[in-house]
Amino acid sequence: MSTKTLASMIASVALMSGCSSGSDKVTTTPTAQEKPMTVTPVTQQVSPEDFLTQFNIDIKTISDEAGAAQWVRATYITEDTALLAAKASERYQAYLSQAVNQAKQFPTQGMSKDTARALKLLVLSTSMPAPADAKKRAELSRIATEMGGIYGAGEYCREDGSCLQLQELENILASSRNYDELLEVWQGWREVAIPLRPKYERFVELTNEGANEFGYGDLAQMWKASYDMPVAEFEQVVDGLWTQVQPLYEQLHCYVRHELGETYGKDKVDPNAPIPAHLLGNMWSQTWNNIYDVVEPFPGKSTPDVTPALLAQEYDAEKMTRAAEEFFVSLGLPELPDTFWQRSMLTKPRDRDVVCHASAWDLDGGKDPRIKQCVEPNAEQLSTLHHELGHIYYFLMYKDLEPLFRTGAHDGFHEAIGDTIVLSMTPEHLKKKGLIKDIANGNEAKINQQMRMALEKIAFLPFGKLIDEWRWKVFSKEIPPEQYNAAWWDLRRKYQGISPPTARDERYFDAGAKYHIPGNTPYIRYFLSFIIQFQFHKALCDTAGFNGEISDCSIYGSKEAGKQLGDVLAMGASQPWPKAMQTMTGQPHMDASALLEYFKPLQQWLSQENADRQCGW
Provide the 3-class DSSP secondary structure of residue 276.
Answer: strand
- CB atoms under 10 Å from CB of 250, counted, come to 17
The dihedral of CA 158, 163, 166, 170: what is its sign?
negative
- CB atoms under 10 Å from CB of 392, counted, come to 26
Q: Provide Rg for the chain, Cα atoms.
A: 24
- CB atoms under 10 Å from CB of 44, counted, come to 5
- Catalytic residue, from 258, 386, 414, 516: name it: 516
358 assigned to active site: yes
CA 497 vs CA 270, 272, 296: distances in Å: 12, 10, 20
- Catalytic residue, from 139, 146, 209, 388: name it: 388
Which 3-state string (H, E, C) describes 302-352? CCCCCHHHHHHCCCCHHHHHHHHHHHHHHCCCCCCCHHHHHHCECCCCCCC
Which 3-state string (H, E, C) describes 69-135? HHHHHHHCCCHHHHHHHHHHHHHHHHHHHHHHHHHCCCCCCCCCHHHHHHHHHHHCCCCCCCCCCHH
Residue 375 per-residue DSSP state:
-
- Catalytic residue, from 253, 258, 386, 391: name it: 391
- Catalytic residue, from 387, 410, 414, 537: name it: 387
410 assigned to active site: no
The dihedral of CA 349, 352, 353, 355: what is its sign?
negative
216 assigned to active site: no
Whether 402 and 443 have beta carbons less than 8 Å apart is answered as no
Provide the 3-class DSSP secondary structure of residue 217.
Answer: coil
In this structure, what are the phi and psi dihedrals at residue 164, rounded to the nearest 5 degrees? -125, 135
516 assigned to active site: yes
Helix (H) or strand (E) holding 448, with range, is helix 443-475
415 assigned to active site: yes
- Catalytic residue, from 376, 415, 456, 469: name it: 415
589 assigned to active site: no
| Cα end-to-end distance, the chain, whole Å | 30
C-alpha 57/C-alpha 472 separation (Å) is 34
Whether 124 and 65 have beta carbons less than 8 Å apart is answered as no
- Catalytic residue, from 358, 379, 445, 487: name it: 358
- Catalytic residue, from 357, 386, 410, 414: name it: 357
Whether 383 and 398 have beta carbons less than 8 Å apart is answered as no
C-alpha 127/C-alpha 516 separation (Å) is 12
Q: At what angle do helices 79-103 and 134-152 cross, to 10 degrees?
A: 130
Provide the 3-class DSSP secondary structure of residue 282.
Answer: coil
Helix (H) or strand (E) holding 393, with range, is helix 379-397
Provide the 3-class DSSP secondary structure of residue 3.
Answer: strand
Provide the 3-class DSSP secondary structure of residue 507.
Answer: coil
Q: Measured at the alpha carbon of residue 528, what is the angle toward residues 593 and 143, in degrees to the nearest 5? A: 170
526 assigned to active site: yes
What is the full DSSP assignment across 580-611? HHHHHHSSSS--SHHHHHHTHHHHHHHHHHTT
Catalytic residues: 357-358, 387-388, 391, 415, 516, 526
